[in-house]
A and B are shown apart, each in its own frame.
Chain A
């Protein structure tokens, strides 16, 4: 069964460092998303990506965040200068279409900023 894979499963980084979270979406999917879940809080939308550009982003997704799909398979989330409050579980998701189609989620990357 096709699945979304995320690496690494756990990343520890020092405050101020750059991190890149990696995702391999399902191969025939066209819409890609990042969500995050701070411990004890709800899952929050960060950004959606379609046709090699950001289609929508939340207020959380400020200038320190960026996404790209460098090689047609990977979908990455970069945090330029990490802050303590960036510690969270980050989920990648992909869909074959918008609206009523199912979003398939990866297992998540737990980011800990120390």
Chain B
């Protein structure tokens, strides 16, 4: 069984400040981890993913995330927030098992507000 916990349903950051969104997961098998972003009235867009290999992964729009197995975490960061980063962000986990059908388990989401 898998689950995802995102700490903080709302985060407010100043433009130019660090963005840090927290995600912890539980999984009985090695996980694949994803961050998706949802802009208003749009679908879910992949920001980045971790599957295997390098634990620090870089994504679009200057975001990156680090997989820490010992902490079961996959926190998302961006050094300097931009107004266009205002959106809802979802962490998700998928099983890596060979017989997995690739479904995603999502966290509850974090709404990011960027203030001038």
Contact = CB atoms under 8 A, between A and B. Distances in A.
Contact of A50 (B32, B45, B101): B101
Interface in B71-116: 90, 92, 94-96, 100-109
Contacts of B42: 107
Interface stretch (A12-20, A41-49, A67-75, A78-86): A41-49
Contacts of A33: 102-104
Interface string A72-107: 000000000000000000010101011111111111
Interface of B: 32, 34, 36, 41-46, 49, 51-52, 90, 92, 94-96, 100-109
Interface of A: 4, 31, 33, 35, 41-45, 48, 50, 55-56, 91, 93, 95, 97-108
B32 A100 contact: yes
A50 B99 CA distance: 13
Contacts of A106: 43
B43 A55 contact: no
A31 B46 contact: no
